Structure 1
Amino acid sequence: MKTKFVILFTMLLISACSSSLQVPEVTTTLSPTRTITPSPEPTSAAAIAPTPTGIQLPYNEVQESSAYCQSPYAILAIANAEGLSKEKIARVLVGIWLERYKTPKAHPYCRIEDYRVDDIYSNPKVNATSLQPKGDFMRVVKFSIKLIQVPTDWLAFPGEIDTENWLTVIWNISISKLDDNYEMVFAYP
């Protein structure tokens, strides 16, 4: 009987407290600090629409380079370089080398629309490194080429492509006097 009394007394207390207890109404306005968006449903690659990018180059089905694209030596007759500074000789040689790829007869994998020799300078640190060949003098060349398609051999060069499809590259060159000519080649570690 004691148990029944405890249960009845507890129920009476709960009902008495709930009727006398007044809970104030609280309105809360939350300002979101982040928005959570649900993860999108997985889609197939075919369902994803391409998005435009700054780099818009036509795709060429030619998948192989050719011997034409191999870096030939640029040669300038010493007689034609009379009175030119080393920087100017380097600029002319880089121009001779790039002009080869600007012609319609160039293989599509390495053909370019245009080029610029942006800067040529001497860097004593480059001369002190283990770049080979050393040649008679070395220069750092910054050049830009206007790409016409992908794939292309030019993407093997480290550099940046702008929104107008100009690839800008900085590279080391070595220039040697051989017989009656100056000859330019790339210098590698």
Structure 2
Amino acid sequence: MAGPESPHRPAADGRGRDWRTYGGDPGGGRFSTLADIDRGNVGGLRRVWTYHTGDVDPRVDAQPPAFECTPLAVGGVLYVSTPSGRVIALDGDTGLEVWSFEPPPRAGAAVKRRAHRGVSYWEAADGRERRIVYGTPDGRLVALDALTGRRRSDFGQGGIVDLRDSVADGWPQAQLEVSSPPAIYRDLAIVGTHLQEFPAL
């Protein structure tokens, strides 16, 4: 995380600071209205804080998985996913960990580590419920309480839906992974799966 040496403090309610979807808006425009950083002051940016997830360590891994997450920013909290399927909530100002969630291992399967692009945010119409919804590298869909990081017991089985059920369970060795955030439309989470990108066929 980097910022200007004399940062302008945004509005306390967070307007303009939030990045609630993978592409910044439902259409994926990837455009921010923030204007504090421009060509005139970008050279003065300095590191404010650093957080190490522990998932990617080139000193340990000969071929570490790529870290490709685009964090979400909601109300001053950053939501980050890691190659092993963990989700971490960080205070955007300090970099301190708010909570961390690690999905329970799938029975009889090793933990997969793949490039993971992020999570999705869902908020009830009345604003009383806020959830983080994301797919795991081993093909599960998880719903977490955005404030606490605990699994939502009213979603699937203990907060988890196994996407292999009735889809790929007849082929236990078949690849079914989720590496991108689900699309959220009203109260629906629309999920795609990882596709083989190489070698080309």
Question: Is this a same-fold pair by TM over 0.5?
Answer: no
Question: With structure 1 as the length reference, what TM-score do the two structures score?
Answer: 0.24
Question: With structure 2 as the length reference, what TM-score do the two structures score?
Answer: 0.23
